[in-house]
Structure 1
Amino acid sequence: MARTRVRFASLLALSAALALVTGCGAEAGDGTASKDGTPGQGGGKPVVVVTTSWEGAFAKAAGAEDVKVIVPQSVHHAPDYDPKPSDLAAVGKADFVLYAPFEPYAAKIKEAAGSKAKLVEVNLDNDSGRARSEVARLGKLFGTETAAAQWTASFDAEYAKLAKDVRGAWPGGRSPAVVSQVFTTWSAELAGATQVGTYGPEAVTPAQLAELSGKKPALVLDNAHMTTGTVLPDSGAKQVEIVNYPGEDLDLLPVYRNAAAALKKAMGGS
């Protein structure tokens, strides 16, 4: 995810508009536990605002039911997004605001909204182990540990099934050599591929091009959200576009299913 310069000028004006809507966050949740032990405001389940659908999927997997996504899926690079008054209004009513390190405007959104929400940095990585860890951590924060554990059990079963299916499509029964963009290495792990190199998030330099092509990879696992076109032209490697972000349903499992299908197809499977 590109560390693009973010425009903050409009936030001050938007915060003034928010004051009329929410009283500058005077009714925002403070993250404290309700009577039933759930860290939501007003005795209910937690209200979670997330910057993108990726954080939203982690929140939903962890058991959050009231999740508001700020950045529309039509925005290719989340750090480019300019928040609207309605976004700030949502933040003002939240118990938790989830963001990623490469989205520096998240803190500015909270500040402009005057929210008392707990700001939570999320490690956006679809690596199976890290995903489990983040879901468990968020479940503990939200007070939804049971739901998080149930999701993890279903994830483990689905992941094992997908991994077995993809690995069954290895050409000649041998693990393929792959080059991965730094944010798609998780898909190489899913496929059981032999990772011979990585690149990004910056564009590949001529020196890297020569080095990575010399590894003779069968596949290049590119990041669909940051693609710069063909990464290793004339290398003979098939390029597979890997999507990290889930859809509007905030379901993380289809991300793995889609990656598995794309990898299997690239390896010659059906």
Structure 2
Amino acid sequence: MARNRVRVRFPSLAAPLLALTAALALTAGCGSSDASDSSSGDGGHPHDGAPVVVVTTTWEGAFAKAAGAKDVKVIVPQSVQHAPDYDPKPSDLAAVADADFVLYAPFEPYAEKIKEAAGSDAELVEVNLDNDADKATAEVARLGKLFGTQDAAATWQKTFKTQYADLQRELKAAWPGGKAPAVVTQVFTAWSAKLAGAEVVGTYGPEAVTAKQLSDLSAKKPALVLDNAHMSTGTVLPDAGAKQVKIVNFPGKDLDLLPVYRDAASALKSAMAGAA
């Protein structure tokens, strides 16, 4: 765990979380006999050995589900575009209090505060949220080992690799003129450029593009600009003649990671057809 890596401060959360700690303690006390009944009795996780996983967003949730977790609770609603802006509710803390694992990303600094305020014994797990195929499969394998669900994780990896290869073939067949398109990509959507087999001629973000970057990136004459839908600052290269493609990183409520790749492939195919 890497708690000391989280340095962003959210002062507004401290008081509400501390105020809720006492209420959650009372709730836990009232349900202590039920909690002991649900334990496996061998020092393992409760709920018949299946881990209870609380995640900050659907992105971590999708990684947990891919790794084989069955009982996954998401704290931040899908409608919240920027997770660190979310203010946890008492029900969020109650969910954490019953968790075996709490999954979070480094840019979500309130995760540890949520766990501490809830008095949870959950293991806090930092997740590498990157949809790059190699990094995603490695993270799923790591979580599967952590959860004790290696077989489920391996099954997902096999399905993912097959579908990913299919999408790569489809996108290569859609290259304009049979040549890999030149693209500029936001740093957190570079995985989609890799999926398309595109030639990355420049990157930007997460900060806004400066005047110099605008000039330098435009000079690369990209056919496509891959924009992060969750951190968009509008048209990135307005005078470059490049087609901007919105790439979505976060999965939906079903916590299925595979549609993220299919949706990106669909958007890229449409953009490449328009750039032909």
> What is the DSSP-based 3-state SS (H/G/I as helix, E as strand, rest coil) of the residue aligned with 1:155?
helix
> By how many angstroms is 1:40 displaced?
2.2
**Does residue 242 of structure 2 align to residue 263 of structure 1?**
no
Q: 2:27 aligns with which of 5, 21, 32?
A: 21
CA distance in 2, matches of 1:164, 1:63: 28
Cα RMSD, aligned residues only: 2.3
> What is the DSSP-based 3-state SS (H/G/I as helix, E as strand, rest coil) of the residue aligned with 1:207?
helix
**Residue 212 of structure 1 aligns with which residue?**
217
Describe the shift of the 1:213–1:12 C-alpha distance in structure 2 as closer, same or farther (beyond 3 A). same
Describe the shift of the 1:111–1:213 C-alpha distance in structure 2 as closer, same or farther (beyond 3 A). same
Q: Deviations over 1:121-177 (max 9, x none)?
A: 000000000000000000000000000000000000000001110111000000000
**Residue 16 of structure 2 aligns with which residue?**
10
- TM-score, scaled to structure 1: 0.92
Determine if contact 2:9/2:109 at 8 Å carries over to the other structure: no
For 1:86-165, list aligned pairs within 5 A: 86-165=91-170
**Does residue 236 of structure 2 align to residue 231 of structure 1?**
yes
Q: Deviations over 1:63-94 (max 9, x none)?
A: 00000000001111000111111000000000
**Residue 50 of structure 1 aligns with which residue?**
55
Q: Which runs of 4+ in 1 moved over 4 A?
A: 24-29, 33-37
> By how many angstroms is 1:44 displaced?
2.5
For 1:187-202, list aligned pairs within 5 A: 187-202=192-207
Gaps of 5+ in 2: 1-6
For 1:173-184, list aligned pairs within 5 A: 173-184=178-189
More helix by share: 2
Determine if contact 1:99/1:121 at 8 Å carries over to the other structure: yes
Tell me which amino acid in the other structure corresponds to 1:224.
Answer: A
Determine if contact 1:24/1:92 at 8 Å carries over to the other structure: no
Determine if contact 1:49/1:91 at 8 Å carries over to the other structure: yes
> By how many angstroms is 1:24 displaced?
10
> By how many angstroms is 1:25 displaced?
9.8
Determine if contact 1:5/1:79 at 8 Å carries over to the other structure: no
Describe the shift of the 1:24–1:58 C-alpha distance in structure 2 as closer, same or farther (beyond 3 A). farther
Aligned length: 264
Identity %: 73
Choose 6-15 or 188-197, whichever is displaced more: 6-15
Q: 2:173 aligns with which of 168, 173, 181?
A: 168
Describe the shift of the 1:15–1:231 C-alpha distance in structure 2 as closer, same or farther (beyond 3 A). same
CA distance in 1, matches of 2:89, 2:31: 16
CA distance in 1, matches of 2:197, 2:30: 50
Gaps of 5+ in 1: none
> By how many angstroms is 1:28 displaced?
11
> What is the DSSP-based 3-state SS (H/G/I as helix, E as strand, rest coil) of the residue aligned with 1:82?
coil
Q: Deviations over 1:211-263 (max 9, x none)?
A: 10111000000000000100011100000000000000000000000000000
**Does residue 254 of structure 2 align to residue 249 of structure 1?**
yes
> By how many angstroms is 1:42 displaced?
4.9
